[in-house]
Structure 1
């Protein structure tokens, strides 16, 4: 680089303000950033910092989220299996107690003694039967230590229950007792009672069902079998689905039936389960408990009742080990942020600072100092940009010097050109005045010729209008004639179709009459079927009476006879419905016949009207043919007249053309003279302007300093 280029950049001349832009202001020592966010270096720093930090956070947090979902999935699968096994054990236990209650209900001895207690009026016989019932109950539960007590509660109010343990007083007034009676022999399991149904002091859960007499099918007692709670607790004590988990049993209304904390029994479950559905036996989902904590809930339906085994484990306990991944992610993110800051500062030093210096040099050149040069000698793109800047400033300096010399030469030439242009303008004005006088005489002759030509043209236009109107009338007449022919053909087709419609209507009337006769036949068949149904009903009643006389041996035949009677009633109802439908069809057929009969005369009148319209179309077609022939004769006469007018128009055109040609030649000469005058005046103006521009160019170039 030359010695001159290596000199330090001097401050701006006194009296000139330092130029500022949107985010830089140049100073004696460098650059002052007014808006750092608009700097290229700051943008690169933010991009690098955000990219590194975002990548680390995305990888870390996605790993944490994936680990959390995998843990929840595995725990959910394990818990479903564990709850399924416990549900199976409890189902087996509940089924054993239901089987035991069924044995009691089918015990003939026990049935007989209960019948004596409920029907006999002998107090001693009732006492003996009560004692025997108590002994029988003791025999059933003697080998089963899990049963706390068994009560046979009579249906009448105020009656004492028969029990082998703690008696349940006033049971007939409770809601569960009324619900058991409504179930009519089906089992109803009662939730855990902290003090037992009879307030024995120990927690129990109970099986209840209505005991019916196997002979009379009459229910007189309700069986209440209480089971110690430890029997249920022992089945669930080994079930653990995670730290902090809770195992409960809830009913179909989502109320707690069993919980390790007996105070929660009867209250809503901590987790709201979906509506009870026998088809969906198990499920696992994430929900919030009453405290607002996220828990993983797993439930299984019991086969023998509308209860569900529910397990809930806190999500935080499941994923607490995965939290280490989250902590490590934030630590690595901090380290990545420090690394990004270091890389950003390095980028600012290597890229932003050289660009700012180069930008300051360009500001100096913008102010007119063409002597500025860059001293950055890097081998990268910024160094190449610095070298290109130095070469550009050298080229601009050479160009400014050459332009100054050329401006001086243009200024001298502009003065000589202005003097020659003024002399040419004076001569052109004198020629223009003489040419204008010749053009005025030729113009007067052309005007008179044009008047005669205009009159001939008007006559030709009128003849063209007559010919055009005549042609339109001929086209319209032809269209009318063609439309009349088309209307005649359409009317013929309409007559044929109307005749076909008449024949179809007549055929439809005949078919509807035959359908009416068929409907009467169906009605007769329905009467026969109705009589058969009545006979069958009478026979089934007779069979029922005979079966009742036969006693027990005729019960099966009585059921068959009852079914036959039901079928006969159903057949009679179906026959009545079919009869009503048949009557409706017959009534609608009569109405259809009436409508068709009314429509037939209308079709006859329509055919007559169509034929009259066809005759009118034929008359119109004949008259339009005569009109077209007369119109053709008038057109031929107008054509002869048009030919005569064309000959006259050509003659007037020739006269006008000669006059216009003379006038045009004169005007062209005058126009050329005027154009020459205008050109001369334009040359004078251009000379003056060129002189002005040369002076302004010289002044502009004087602002640049090349040394």
Structure 2
């Protein structure tokens, strides 16, 4: 990167300071020039506006005084109407601005009127306008109307009404006058507001009543869009005004101010274009720019001279530094300055002298370093060889420790596997013991059930035998019932035979035996019914006897089955007794087995602890071997580094001797 020269930098810095100072001075001067110029323009506008306002106010005031004077002279109301017209006519002829004058009494009746207009025209003195004026004059005040534009002459007209009073101040009548204000147009048009400025008058409603362009006045144009006019309309009683930048009546940017008339309630506005108002400032700014350019050129020349004067001793010091940097420490540094740069040169010379002493001492030290580094190099080589032998031995020990650790770890793993098998055997033995106990409990419960079954079988055998005996008794009863049924059948047959004989005998008896025949018939019917019943009983008895025989046979078979079940249950009871005895023997053996397994588990835990201790010691031994090996390797690396450092130091010593030899020192 290309560096800038110190002289150029100082020149730019000095010139920048000058530019900033001149710029700030110019800005301040321009600001105060603008403010003072604005004040001057404002004062000029105020003078012009005040002049115009005073002229208009004086004109209207003069006309009011003239009307008051004629009303108070010669007691105008006491003379006849002809003399009144003559006096009013004199006033009309005296001042051409009067267009009409009329006189009204206290009852507002017109007494006399004189006019410059035709008899057919009343001008602006209409009843409506007079009514508005009378309301004001009744209060003892003069009346000034708004501005009217005459339709025939297109000139501005106002109405002025003055009350007439007696000696005690009571109103006795009113004098009206229609006044032509063309004078005000001429006055505003004649005002010279600079080269491009203008003036105009507005009333209390912002309507234009006087301006150089009469057409805009005739139109009754309102200027409320102009900021200053709007401010006057909104606050007509304010007397303090200030200059404003705004849009003017011609649509251009202007400096505007106004002066209110107060009575009438109008205001005179004066506007000056901004460029015209700022022309002195622009001229002053041009002169200031030319002066600033000249000052810049002068400042540039001065800054170059000053920078050369400042940088000359610095350049000399730089050249000396370049020579010294090449190793010529015997170079003399000239100092011709008595300022801070001279102090810098003396300090630099002292530094070179100290550096010369340093180089001389460095030469001696470099020789010593060269000798010592050779010795350190030889020692480092021997240390590296010894460290390498230690590393080899420790690697061998470490490998043996690693093998031992692996074997111990295998033993630990096998012991852990055996431990798992023993734990599983213990859990299985406990489970078998629980199952055996449960089986024993079930066998005992089954034995109890078998005994209950024996009792139930004995009870069943007893009930079956009892049922067989009852069946036998039932068979005997059935035989007896059958014998009874046979007897009934025999009796029935005999009864039938007797009834047949009785019927025969009754038939022989004839009429006498008819009643007996009825009895015989009933007996015969009873015999038939008894015979039918006996016949019905016989198959039932046979069926009952058959079922009884079947039940008897079945009961006998049940007895045999119950006897067989009894034998089987007794055999089952005997088997359960043997099972319970076997379960008790198994439980006894399982208990002994659990004790043996618990002893094995205890020895297993001790074996695992021993193997883990052996494994831990082996691992610690292997770790120690690795640490010793690592330390030996680190020592070897350090020895190698020391060896390399010694070689490097030796090379650096030679290079230092060679480098120092390039400096040309002087004896101190």
Report the TM-score when normalising by structure 1.
Answer: 0.46
TM-score by length of structure 2 reads 0.48
